A and B are shown apart, each in its own frame.
Chain A
Amino acid sequence: MPDAHEKQLEELLAHPSVWRGRSRAAVETFPTGFAALDAGLPGGGWPRHGLVEILTPHPGVGELYLLLPALAALSRLAPARWCTWVSPPHEPFAPALAAHGVALDRMLIVRTHLPLWAHEQALRSGACEVALAWLPRASPRAVRRLQLAAEQGRALGVLYRSQKYACEASPAMLRVLLEPLANQHGARLSLLKSRGGTRESIDLTWASAAAA
């Protein structure tokens, strides 16, 4: 009999709206393309909708390589939605993106002095699968707005920020800190915030990404 009660309890706790501290939240995810990272992230991949913050000490750490396998796969879905780049620091180099398997015709670049507004529009519209944004600064309130917009538009919002914001509270779903590895072309990734992910840092090399 105790077995039956335990089973019932398990069923109850498996309900998606019940969230326990150590358990993994039931979110719709998409594989990152890195097996080690998939194992560490809640749900086994990037969330399909919500806001992800990627913090780096300085640009050029590999913050884009981290997303490329997922970006390539998402841009090739059957009814592919768009990927919007809001005020990127430089020009995304089309031949390199194509070499990584990204479908260029689903990319949209937005150059603006209002990155917060543009990012929110892109997330809320429902037209984008992913919206990447490079913001010089964003208050927690603004980040909260973006998180809500991403949930409403069912899009994955990615926010690239400097490491110095790591100590600030953030309403983002997932916060990731990237640091360069000394002797490999890769980075060390630590999850600052995740709903039920691992706490350890994960070493990734970019060339190890599964072929998209």
Chain B
Amino acid sequence: MRAQKTLFEPGDVSAAPSVLRVRPAPPPPTGPGSEGQAALELDPRELWVAAHVPHLSLRALPRDESGAPLVVLDEARNPRIIDADDEAQGAGVRVGMTLGAALATAPHIDARPRDTARELALMQRLAGIAATFTPQVSIEAPDGLLLEIKPSIRLFGGLKELCRQLREACLADTVLARGGTEPHFTLAPTALAALAAARAGARCFITDPRQLPARLKLLPVGVLRWDEDANARLLGMGVRTLGDLLRLPRAGFAKRFGPARLADLDRLQGRRADPRRRLARRERFRTRVDLDHEIEDHDRILEVLRPLLDELEQFLRSRQRGITALQCRFHHYRAAPTTCALRLAAPEADATRLQSLLRERLANVRLPEPVRRCELRGGALTERPLASRPLWSPGERGHAPANEMPALIEHLRARLGAEAVYGIGCVSQHRPENAWCATEPALAPVVSASHAGAGAGDVSRSPPFRRPLWLLHVPEELDTQRGWPRRGGVLELLAGPERIENGWWDGADARRDYFVARDARGARFWVYRECAGARKWFLHGVFG
């Protein structure tokens, strides 16, 4: 033991090579298949399950009662047959025939164009089931599905158990079962290998990358789905299987077929990373409840909605998501359904809060008839930042305010309408009525240092008492007495005139002389006189 330890002492230079020589040297690289075998790790980093739906285009088409042999055509101008069912094949129809040739062979066939939308819907349904096992699901158009399952193995009680459950879940689905769409499953350490084996319909359940070449050897070249030209050339070279293909010299292969194909082969064997895009599922929450009896009372309606909202909360919490829009539909006996839509300033998932907002919103909704059915439709799911509750109440001990502002804005908007609540901002315009704008309240936390910059702009440098704090929505015309403005009594002009002449280009031409005026009671106003026309006096602002 002690002797062995000294053997690995760093200072002992002579011992190191003798230890290394025990390992067999890696075989010299001969072709695209065998180079860099040592790069593969014993423990696969990824495990891919591929599901291939054979005859998808055929299965996606709805069967009619006539029971005529079904043939699927592609979308080309001169349609060719891309798939045919057993009966049609029995009658002599082959894939690749033109429609004319097929009709000549078997006149009673039912030839239909492929329905890609239905095919995609079927695959998405399958992906939806698969997504309950792993988040990494991608559809390999048109008829393949890939799942990376390595991280889920422990959760589902082992690899075999996971695969069994996945298979059963897919077979148990009614829609998939009705079409007779039974996918073929394979397991392999690389995505492309699993997919190739699934397409070939071969049995493949391997986790060890070292077994991969042996398993792939017998698969036909066609499973890679390269284009016709490449396949024909390979056939001309006498390459029929992946084994033949992997034996070709790398440099020559890349020269003849391009580097993209070589990269495909590397991905097939796990020598090159093969990231797949995750399928983003568009999920919506939708539920409804049919009532035993009609109800009219808003409180009762809210009571009925409560379980639905709880269900919504569960749905959102399990996904760590929130919604920013919620629609409530109330169905009546005769009248059109009443909708009551809720828009939220920040993603929300809390049933109690949603209920209180709905209560405010419902207060403004008039129901034409009693309600027979309630329906709840959630909007798009959005990321909801999860925050822990603060120890101090907001504002206390300098604690940063948490999420009260979005809540307040939603609460006010639910009752008063969206346009009743707004923020204000400056616009660099000379006409006072255009110099401000109503904005959406800035909910994102703002660093206080930036306050002076963005919002205020040049205006903050203007002297503080030049402009009034209040601006009238519509300038108020003033009475005049011998040419001077009156409001209660004659106004005393303190400062001015300041001419604002602007806006001839947008139709709201303004030429005004502004004055600061004071009335008999000491209130200060901002008044102006038109420079053109009747030269009337108007009150435009109040120095608050």
Asked whether A140 is an interface residue with its Cβ less than 8 Å from the other chain, the reply is no
Q: Closest CB of chain A to B348's CB: distance in Å?
A: 15
Given the interface pairs A59-B542, A91-B473, A127-B404, the reply to whether A109 lies near B451 with Cβ below 8 Å is: no
**Interface size, chain A (Cβ < 8 Å):** 62
Asked if B472 and A60 sit within 8 Å, CB to CB, the answer is no
The reply to whether A99 and B464 form a contact with Cβ atoms under 8 Å apart is yes
Q: Given the known A-B contacts A61-B523, A118-B416, A122-B408, are A99 and B463 also in contact in the complex, defined by CB atoms under 8 Å?
A: yes
By the criterion CB–CB under 8 Å, are A154 and B471 in contact?
no
> In the complex, are the beta carbons of B455 and A180 less than 8 A apart?
no
Interface string of B252-274 (1 = CB under 8 A from A): 00000000000000000000000
Interface string of A76-104 (1 = CB under 8 A from B): 11111110100011111111111111011
Query: Which A residue sits closest to B393, measured CB to CB?
Result: A126
- Tell me if B470 counts as interface (CB < 8 A to partner A): yes
Residue in A105, A112, A207 whose CB lies within 8 Å of B451: A105
Chain B 41-73: CB-based contact to A (< 8 A → 1; otherwise 0): 000000000000000000000000000000000
A64 near B425: Cβ-Cβ < 8 Å: no
- Which B residues between 457 and 478 are near A, CB-CB below 8 angstroms? 457, 459-460, 462-473
Task: Tell me if A125 and B408 are in contact (CB < 8 A).
Answer: yes
B526 to nearest A CB, angstroms? 9
Task: Please tell me if the beta carbons of A121 and B412 are within 8 angstroms of each other in the complex.
Answer: yes
Instruction: Determine the distance from Cα of A185 to Cα of B494 in the docked complex, in whole angstroms.
Output: 11
Complex CA–CA separation, A117 to B363 (angstroms): 14
Q: Quick one: which of A95, A109, A117, A207 contacts B462, CB cutoff 8 A?
A: A95
Question: What CA separation (Å) do A207 and B464 show in the bound complex?
Answer: 9
Whether B469 and A97, one on each chain, are in contact in the complex, defined by CB atoms closer than 8 angstroms, is yes
The residues of A that contact B393 with a CB separation of less than 8 Å are 126, 154
Q: Contact between A98 and B455 (Cβ–Cβ < 8 Å)?
A: yes
Residue A12, interface by CB 8 Å: no
Q: A60-B542, A108-B423 are in contact. Are A121 and B442 (CB under 8 A)?
A: no
Q: Which residues 432-490 in B have Cβ within 8 Å of A in the complex?
A: 432, 435-438, 441-442, 445-446, 448, 451-452, 454-457, 459-460, 462-473
Residues of B within 8 A of A61 (CB): 522-523
Residues of chain B within 8 A of A64, CB atoms compared: 469-470, 544
Residue of chain B at shortest CB distance from A129: B395
Q: Is there contact, CB below 8 Å, between B401 and A111?
A: no
Assuming A110-B416, A180-B523, is B404 touching A126 (CB within 8 A)?
yes
B335 interface contact, C-beta 8 A: no
A75 at the interface (CB under 8 A from B): yes
In angstroms, Cα B472 to Cα A64, docked, is: 15
Please, how many angstroms separate the alpha-carbon atoms of A154 and B399 in the complex?
12
B425: chain A residues within 8 A (beta carbon):
94, 104-105
Q: Is A14 an interface residue (CB 8 A)?
A: no
Judge if B80 is at the interface, Cβ distance under 8 Å: no
| A206 close to B (CB within 8 Å) | yes
A207 contacts B465, C-beta separation under 8 Å: yes
**Cα(A91)–Cα(B432), bound, Å:** 11
Q: Mark B334-366, 1 if CB is under 8 A from A, else 0.
A: 000000000000000000000000000000000
Residue contact B426 to A98, C-beta cutoff 8 Å: yes
Verify if A45 is at the interface (C-beta below 8 Å from B). no
Most B C-beta atoms less than 10 A away, residue of A64, A84, A105, A109: A105
Q: Which residues of A contact B432 (CB under 8 A)?
A: 93, 95
B464 interface neighbour in A84, A100, A114, Cβ under 8 Å: A100
**Contact present for B541 and A93 (CB under 8 Å):** yes
Q: Would you call B12 an interface residue if the criterion is a C-beta within 8 Å of the partner chain's C-beta atoms?
A: no
Closest to A207 in B: B465
CA distance A89 to B395 in the complex (A): 29
Given A80-B448, A127-B404, residue A114 in contact with residue B415 (CB < 8 A)? yes
- Closest approach, in angstroms, between the C-beta of A186 and any C-beta of chain B? 10
Q: How many of B's residues come within 8 Å of A, CB to CB? A: 63
Residues of chain A within 8 A of B523, CB atoms compared:
58-61, 180
Given the complex, which residues of B lie within 8 Å of A90, measured CB to CB? 470-473, 541-542
Contacts of A206 in B (CB 8 A): 465
Which of chain B's residues has its CB closest to A56's CB? B523
Q: How far is the CB of A110 from chain B (nearest CB, A)?
A: 5
Residues of B within 8 A of A111 (CB): 416, 420-421
In the complex, A172→B391 CA distance in Å?
29
Contact of A13 with B by CB under 8 A:
no
Q: Nearest-CB distance from A38 to chain B (Å)?
A: 20
Given A60-B523, A60-B544, A107-B423: A82 and B405 interface contact (C-beta under 8 Å)? yes
| Given known contacts A77-B448, A98-B426, A101-B460, A182 and B544 CB-to-CB distance under 8 angstroms | no
Q: Are the CB atoms of A127 and B401 closer together than 8 Å?
A: yes
What 0/1 readout, one digit per residue, does chain A (110-137) give for beta carbons within 8 Å of chain B?
Answer: 1110100110011001111100000000
Q: With A62-B544, A105-B446, A180-B521 given, is the CB distance from A110 to B467 under 8 Å? A: no
Q: How distant is the Cα of A180 from the Cα of B257 in the complex, in angstroms?
A: 91
On chain A, the residues within 8 Å of B471 by CB distance are: 90-93
Whether the Cβ atoms of A128 and B408 lie closer than 8 Å is: yes
Known: A93-B469, A105-B451, A110-B420. A182 touches B522 (CB 8 A): yes
Please report which residues of chain B, range 528-544, place their CB below 8 angstroms from some CB of chain A when the two chains form the complex: 541-544
Minimal beta-carbon separation of B422 from chain A (angstroms):
6
The verdict on A63 contacting chain B, using a C-beta distance below 8 Å, is: yes
CB contact between B421 and one of A109, A128, A180, A182 (< 8 Å): that residue: A109
Residue A35, interface by CB 8 Å: no
Which of A68, A76, A104, A127 interacts with B424 by CB under 8 Å? Answer: A104
Residue B398 CB within 8 A of the other chain: yes
A30 at the interface (CB under 8 A from B): no
Closest to B488 in A: A58
Q: Which residues of B contact A (CB under 8 A)?
A: 393-396, 398-401, 404-405, 407-409, 411-412, 415-416, 420-426, 432, 435-438, 441-442, 445-446, 448, 451-452, 454-457, 459-460, 462-473, 521-525, 541-544
Between A and B, 27 residue pairs with Cβ closer than 8 Å are A60-B523, A75-B451, A77-B448, A90-B471, A91-B436, A92-B470, A93-B436, A94-B436, A95-B459, A97-B469, A99-B456, A99-B463, A100-B464, A103-B452, A104-B425, A105-B446, A107-B424, A109-B438, A125-B404, A125-B408, A126-B394, A126-B401, A154-B393, A154-B395, A154-B396, A180-B521, A185-B465
Nearest 5 A-B pairs (CB), nearest first? A180-B522, A60-B523, A64-B544, A127-B404, A94-B436
